[in-house]
Amino acid sequence: MSESLDEIVANFELLDEWDDRYRYLIELGRTLAPLPDEAHNDANKVRGCASQVWLETHVEGGPGEATRLTFRGDSDAHIVRGLVALAIAIHSGHTAREILATDAFAIYERLGLAAHLTPQRSNGVRAMMERIKSDARAALA
């Protein structure tokens, strides 16, 4: 993915119409590097999402405080793939402690996504964020 979280937030703020924001979210999903077929497995599947979502976690420099996590992901739904891209932009490349301290929901709210996603998609975002935080907790252990 080539866009940083700051760039994504700035681009969202430039878009006034929700149709434009949804299109941008779909474009974000298209920027994700392809997830290899073998990574579309049960261990990487995120439970609690209505759509199919996979998150692959790589832990580097651990265990302990120096542990950094990077993520790759995919979904079978275009908008959800964009939500995966946003989650990756928020968390990937950060230490486990930074991930645990980050309030990703506040970022989703700031972008207005919390108010414009269906309840099912909101639950899926929560499940994805909990999975990321769970992986960060495991990396610290």
Dihedral angle computed from the Cα positions of residues 76, 1, 85 and 70, in that order, rounded to the nearest 10 degrees: 100
Alpha helices of the chain — where are they, by DSSP H?
A: 5-14, 18-30, 78-91, 96-101, 104-110, 113-116, 119-140
In DSSP terms, 53 is beta-bridged to 75
Q: Which two tokens stand for residue 37?
A: 């077929």
**Catalytic entry in 1, 25, 49, 89:** 49
Backbone torsions φ then ψ of 44, nearest 5 degrees:
-90, -10
The three-state secondary structure class of 36 is: coil
How many of the other CB atoms lie within 10 Å of CB of 13? 12
**49 carries an active-site annotation:** yes
Active-site residue list: 49
